[in-house]
Structure 1
Amino acid sequence: MSKVLNSSKIRGGSFIIDDIDAARIVTPEDFTEEQRMIAQTTEDFVDAEIVPHDAEIEKLNYELTVSKLRKAGEVGLLGADVPEAYGGLGLDKISSTLIGEKMAKASSFALSLGAHVGIGTLPIVYFGTDEQKRKYLPQLAAGEKIAAYCLTEPTSGSDAQGARTTAIPTEDGQHYVLNGTKQFITNAGFADIFIVYAKVNGTDFSTFIVERGMPGVSIGPEEKKMGIKGSSTCPLILEDVKVPASNLLWEIGKGHLIAFNILNIGRFKLAAGAVGGTKETIAASAKYANERHQFGRPISSFPLIGKKLAEMNTKTFALESMVYRTAGLFDEGLAELEGENAANNANNANNASANAANNAGLQAAKAIAEYQLECSINKVFSSEVLDFVVDEGVQLHGGYGFIQEYRVERSYRDSRINRIFEGTNEINRLLIPGTLIKRAMKGELPLMQKAMALQAELMEPMPSQMFEGTLEQEAHMLAMAKKIFLMAGAQAVQKYQMKLEQEQEVLSNLADIMISVFAMESALLRTRKLIAGSGEDKAQNAIDMTVVFIHEEFSKIENWAREVLSAMETGDTLRTQLSILKKLTRHSPANMVGLKRSIAARVIAAEQYVV
């Protein structure tokens, strides 16, 4: 289990206004022996059970996929997030994240498994009654039953509450009659349990556990997809389906809380899979670059090929750092929740189990929602880094990258869905600053207080600074990036006030600044931990990558901020703000060519992702 390093919990979104000590974050270098064993178990399972059957799975062989899911259940890979009391392993989030990362090599099968253990099973884990958990979770953890998540409809995707599926209670109150169609449902072709969202009496958005064998449940034809062809994607059709009232998940009208919070987990798990995907592509690309000869030498010896590998590796380092930092936040938050639940159960031993479960669901919703902003950041950054890496992987392979015989061709197609899954990246970009501002308005984060204090500081002359120590300038650039966000964000709030949500271009740029800040800080803190633990010599590659990443992201931040300020002001006011921005972005450039050549040499020598 991961340690809680400090009793004072890190609040979601606080990274943009607060500094954090490197010792507070979880990094891959902190993995316990138990966590490493779980990762190895997953790798061994994929190599033995999935890779030899990959071509057949890709042909959409239901029977084979289901049999392998059951095998995964036998070795515990489906029960990581299911409590031991209900047949699971009850592992920490670091361990379940490692399973998600290592499963990425399984391609379409990884998606089938991920949908089952994540958005398919977790609604029952977090929001089910004791009776529901005992009935369904042991079978789901063992792979005896397969789950699917049913939110999207033909006319509603990101606008989940625009769903038209209805649930009408029967006169005796014993059942709900469900009618509607759900679209693009992963695992629908062979799933046994469906988490279905419907409006009770056409108004109250609620969640139901629907079984495949219930009369009126039918499955539409498989969609013909661009990628992830080995995963099942079908419509779910509900025609007068009588669902027992006991299968209502949590409470009537609470469906949006279940949906949004489970999507948060789904976004994070997507990021974990992206880490595995980028590492696999880097390894395949480096190996190919060493084997492929042109003009009498391996193409890995050409600087522009090395540059690609260096950039692929560097972005993956930032992504990996971000993902496990976030997993650590979840472990801390959920550990606190488990402690509260244990105390409540001890004090209220005579309470009805239904009431206790409802209270636990509310607490789970709060614990998950605490880091919803970080989940969206992980989702956007990971899907775009994966797209970048596989795109460069195809380019590096040249014409062979366009041929199905080479894995990178499929990786390229499979990657594209991630920017759409779990809420499009555009929707998530709007959620990131929107969530932050809502928290500030509720008094949960002192965002505006920090912004007001900054305004006075920005009017003062900024002294020139000399940076001599390792990563000192990069730490300063990170601090300036946070100030840039506060300056631009405060200006946007003051100018647009309640109409800010209509200024989507401004919100998107603010989101991009926040994403970059979180990624920059994650890389910097991880590298500082590496230096503290093993010295600068052994951390040199991490140092080089952190310098490269922060300098490149900092330039983007400057451009995004300039665009935001220019959208809001003109004339002398704009010139004043741009002069302040120029002060905040003053820095000495790094030798990016030399740094990337050094990183590339290490990747080429190792023929894999290297830290």
Structure 2
Amino acid sequence: MSTESINKNLTRGGEYIVKETKSEDVFTPEDFNEEQKMMRDSVIEFVDREIWPNKPRFETKDYAFTEELMRKTGELGLLGVSVPEAYGGLGMGFVSTMLVCDYISGTSGSFSTAFGAHTGIGTMPITLYGTEEQKQKYVPKLATGEWFGAYCLTEPGAGSDANSGKTKAVLSEDGSHYNISGQKMWISNAGFANLFIVFARIEDDKNITGFIVENDPENGISFGEEEHKLGIHSSSTRQVFFNETKVPVENMLSERGNGFKIAMNALNIGRIKLAAACLDAQRRVITEAVKYANERVQFKTPIAKFGAIKQKLANMATAAYVDESACYRAAKDIEDRIAIREAEGNSHQEAELKGVEEYAIECSILKVAVSEDVQECTDEGIQIFGGMGFSADTPMESAWRDARISRIYEGTNEINRMLTVGMLIKKAMKGQVDLLGPAMAVKDELMGIPSFDTPDYSELFAEEKEILKKLKKAFLMIAGAAVQKYGQDLEEHQQLLMAAADIMIEIYMAESAILRTEKNAKRFGEDSQKNQIAMSQLYLFNAVEKINSKGKEAIISFAEGDEQKMMLMGLKRFTKYTNMPNIVALRNQVAEKLSEENAYIF
């Protein structure tokens, strides 16, 4: 497909909220090419051979084993999937890097963290911001696993407020190097990293600056003990102390004062990759839960046949299917945007940076949605196992503990929720997404007389797609009124922002599943997708219920009198079904298919 045709059909980041996307314009896992399928299968084979059988070792703080597996991963080329071939990598596209991150992360949060920290925030900043000399010197070593990387941003007083770090970089008198002094904490891979991406402030600069720092204990670098953590027990996590650490001036990463920008762009990529890293964890937890539910007999009946268990299994599978749909939809949008920019003459570095930045809203949406779904999945996994689920002898207990960090990594989910709405409003103010026009149209519609015509819902997903349109109107109604009332002060109303973000999130996730299922039903036949249709309908029903609840919460928080009444009536209109689905029947259908296959198979 030419970049011209891609550009024509490709929505901008956040634009899904005001535009209708056609199913033929979304990418799905069923669109993987042969190379991607081979890559997926080889990663699964590696995980099943090297990681899954050794899962108990990760609970014993076996950091050496994590490092050993990382070296094996490097030998297979998996640490350099996204690294250009010129620097020793495979030079594969964004979808392929997501795929590897997805399937290599399913069995151990410890290994997933080590892999993500190295390939993402350890290597990627040099690949995207480094000079040619820096890339030639460091990236080949990182791509092959000869060296490992770590990322030193967080400090005791600088977490979500990353730009407030106190670490200092002082230029030497002869101008040859900087002396870096400061304390960094929660540094993944610190125990075996050869190289650190370090952020420090030069003089009284407004923004921090990035540096590439080689690990040399004789150069003023020391470490705290390994942290005692709730989960990810074999992920090396230590404090790193810099005491007059000499860093050559040529090791400054990008320009002076550009560190905050590097950190934020690294987080954008980290967020969508974190979502991918939670996908196979869900698949494997569901499979283990299904197997146990089929084997566990109570009252002379396998518990998989009980309605309460069917509900749990169906909800777990639905979330996993929807999450996968949304992740690969966004990944391909990013990949296409990168291709367009490269065709326009941008360097690979600039194209990838701008391509990911374009979809920063979707990256935050996915980070929130999938991290919360994997936590819910593991929690329900424990519940299905009952008392055995609470035992460390079963995989559910460690999976639950490992999943918990994902809601904190890469910016807390609360921060990401507020960013989601804030970034959309900024895009609207820059003219990149037209929010004002559609919001005014919704306001006019509320003042008019609603249609009482009976629509034709005979085609697959006809009503569901109409509901999605109405849900978008609900968001525009609430967001438009909130912006009109509070203007620039909207960011101070955090609970309102989080409610609005939940509406945005549910719309994107539900739409992604419906578009994927519709696309596959058209090419493979509806009968082949009957369970995927059920899951898409089930997720949308739950999304409508949540949007109704969050919408009320938002409206009541800032609207009064006649305005409040009108908006609540509008919300009721925008969250109304003509034909309510039988969600119990949908759940039973999905759960029975899982039980029949004895695994997650969607």
TM score, norm. by length of structure 2: 0.96
Which residue of the partner structure matches residue 499 of structure 1?
489
Distance of 2:500 and 2:155 partners within structure 1: 30
2:459 counterpart of 1:469 = yes
- 2-side partners of 1:4 and 1:405: how far apart? 55
CA shift for structure 1 position 3: 9.2
Secondary structure, aligned partner of 1:422: coil
Residues 259-278 of structure 1 aligned to structure 2 (within 5 Å): 259-278=263-282
Q: 5+ residue gaps in structure 2?
A: none
* Paired AA for residue 282 in structure 2: T
Report the equivalent of 1:100. 101
Q: Which amino acid aligns with 1:546?
A: S
Once residues 572 and 3 of structure 1 are traced to their aligned partners in structure 2, the CA distance between those partners, rounded to angstroms, is: 49
Q: 3-state SS of the aligned residue for 2:156?
A: coil
Give the whole-Å Cα distance in 1 for the aligned partners of 2:222 and 2:230: 24
* Percent identity of paired positions between Structure 1 and Structure 2: 43
Counterparts of 1:31 and 1:364, CA distance in 2: 21
Residues in 2 aligned to 1:498 and 1:3: alpha-carbon distance in whole angstroms: 37
Asked if 2 retains the 8 angstrom alpha-carbon contact of 1:258 and 1:365, the reply is no
1:410 maps to a residue whose letter is: S
Report the equivalent of 2:328. Answer: 324
Q: Counterparts of 1:366 and 1:6 in 2: how far apart (Å)?
A: 16
Alignment counterpart, residue 372 of structure 2, candidates 379, 384, 391 = 384
Given the alignment, which residue of 262, 265, 289 partners 1:285? 289
SS at match of 1:152: coil
Give 1:559 shift: 1.4
The answer as to 2:197 corresponding to 1:206 is no
**Letter aligned with residue 467 of structure 2:** M
Match of 1:557 among 543, 547, 559: 547
Q: TM-score, normalised by structure 1?
A: 0.95
After superposition, what is the alpha-carbon deviation per residue over 1:213-253, rounded to whole angstroms, capped at 9, x for unaligned? 16001111110000010111000110000101111111011
Q: Give, as a single letter, the amino acid of the residue that structure 2 aligns with 1:537.
A: D
Match of 2:525 in 1: 535
Instruction: Pick which of 457-466 and 113-122 moved more.
Output: 457-466
Mean Cα displacement is larger for which, 563-572 or 385-394?
563-572
1:176 to 175, 178, 196: 178
Contact 1:313 1:610 in 2 (8 A): no
Code of the aligned partner of 1:421:
Y
1:577-603 deviation line (CA, Å, top 9, x unaligned): 212222222213211111111111101
Larger deviation, residues 399-408 vs 37-46: 37-46
Q: CA offset at residue 565 of structure 1?
A: 1.1
- 1:219–1:237 Cα contact (<8 Å) kept: yes
Mapping of residues 99-498 of structure 1, within 5 Å: 99-107=100-108, 108-203=110-205, 204-213=207-216, 215-340=219-344, 343=345, 363-464=351-452, 465-466=454-455, 467-498=457-488
Q: Structure 2 CA distance, aligned partners of 1:309 and 1:524?
A: 20
Which of 581, 588, 591 does residue 571 from structure 2 map onto? 581
User: Post-superposition shift, 1:4?
Assistant: 8.9
Change (3 A) 1:57 1:312: closer
Bigger Cα displacement from structure 2, 432-441 vs 207-216: 207-216
Structure 1 equivalent of residue 515 of structure 2: 525
Q: Distance in 2 between matches of 1:264 and 1:281?
A: 27
Whole-angstrom distance in 2 between the partners of 1:557 and 1:52: 42
1:177 offset after TM fit, Å? 0.9
- Contact 2:446–2:566 (CA under 8 A) maintained in structure 1: no
Residue of structure 2 in register with 1:608 after alignment: 599
1:572 to 537, 549, 562: 562
Partner letter of residue 106 of structure 2? Answer: K
> Equivalents in 2 of 1:161, 1:423: separation in Å?
13
SS of the residue corresponding to residue 539 of structure 1 reads helix
How many Å separate the matches in 1 of 2:323 and 2:574?
26
How far did 1:156 drift?
1.0
Residues 474 and 551 of structure 1 are in contact (CA less than 8 Å); yes or no, is this contact kept in structure 2? Answer: no
Which one is further off, 451-460 or 492-501?
Answer: 451-460
Q: Deviations over 1:142-180 (max 9, x none)?
A: 100000111110111000011111111112221111110
Secondary structure at 2:98 match in 1: helix
C-alpha distance in structure 2 between counterparts of 1:140 and 1:234, whole Å? 20
Secondary structure of 1:78's partner? helix
Residues of 2 paired with 1:154 and 1:84: CA distance? 38
- More displaced stretch, 573-582 vs 320-329: 573-582
- Mapped to 2, the partners of 1:101 and 1:252 lie a distance apart of 35
CA contact (8 A) 1:387 1:415 kept: yes
Alpha carbons of 1:361 and 1:254: their partners in 2 closer, same or farther (altered >3 Å)? farther
d(CA) in 2 for partners of 1:49, 1:137: 26
Write the distance in 2 (CA, Å) between the matches of 1:30 and 1:157: 39
Q: Provide the rounded CA distance (Å) in 2 between the counterparts of 1:223 and 1:209.
A: 24
Structure 1 window deviating more from structure 2 (382-391 vs 556-565): it is 556-565
Superposition deviation, residue 41 in structure 1: 1.1
User: Tell me, which stretches of 5 or more residues in structure 1 are unaligned?
Assistant: 346-359
Q: Match for 1:240: what amino acid? A: E
Of stretches 601-610 and 25-34 in structure 1, the one that deviates more from structure 2 is 601-610
Distance in 1 of aligned mates of 2:328 and 2:242: 39
Shift of residue 364 of structure 1? 4.1
Check conservation: 2:27, 2:329, Cα contact below 8 A.
yes
**Conserved 8 A contact 1:548-1:595:** yes
> In structure 1, how many angstroms separate the alpha carbons of the residues matched to 2:325 and 2:466?
19
Q: Tell me if the contact between 1:306 and 1:601 (Cα under 8 Å) persists in the aligned partners.
A: yes
SS in 1 for 2:526: coil
Cα-to-partner distance string for 1:44-97 (whole Å, 9 max, x where unaligned): 111222234333343233333222211111111101010000000011111111
The one-character-per-residue Cα deviations of 1:352-405 (angstroms, maximum 9, x if unpaired) are: xxxxxxxx6555432221111100000000010001111110000000000001
- Please give the secondary structure, in 2, of the residue aligned with 1:183: strand
Deviation (angstroms), 1:118:
1.0
Residue 546 (str. 1) matches residue 536 (str. 2):
yes
Q: Deviations over 1:545-595 (max 9, x none)?
A: 111110110111111111111111222221122122222222132111111
How many angstroms apart in 1 are the aligned matches of 2:431 and 2:562?
34
Query: 3-state DSSP class of the match of 1:518?
Result: helix
1:266 partner letter: G
Quick one: structure 1 residues 2 and 554, their matched pair in 2 at CA, closer, same or farther if it must change by over 3 Å? farther
Question: One-letter code of the match for 1:7?
Answer: N
Q: Tell me if the contact between 2:88 and 2:140 (Cα under 8 Å) persists in the aligned partners.
A: yes
- The residue aligned with 1:350 is none
Structure 2 CA distance, aligned partners of 1:584 and 1:268? 30
Question: Is 37-46 or 231-240 further displaced after alignment?
Answer: 37-46
C-alpha RMSD of the superposition: 1.6
Q: Tell me the residue number matched to 1:7.
A: 7
1:166–1:202: 8 Å Cα contact kept in structure 2? no
Contact 1:167–1:202 (CA under 8 A) maintained in structure 2: no
2:394 corresponds to which letter in structure 1?
Answer: Y
CA distance in 2, matches of 1:426, 1:4: 38
Q: Structure 1 residue 127: deviation in Å?
A: 0.7
Deviation of the 1:2 alpha carbon: 12
* 2:43 maps to 1:42: yes
> 1:383 corresponds to which letter in structure 2?
S
Q: Find the aligned partners of 2:416 and 2:506 in 1 and give their Cα distance.
A: 14
Quick one: distance in 2 between partners of 1:400 and 1:52?
Answer: 19
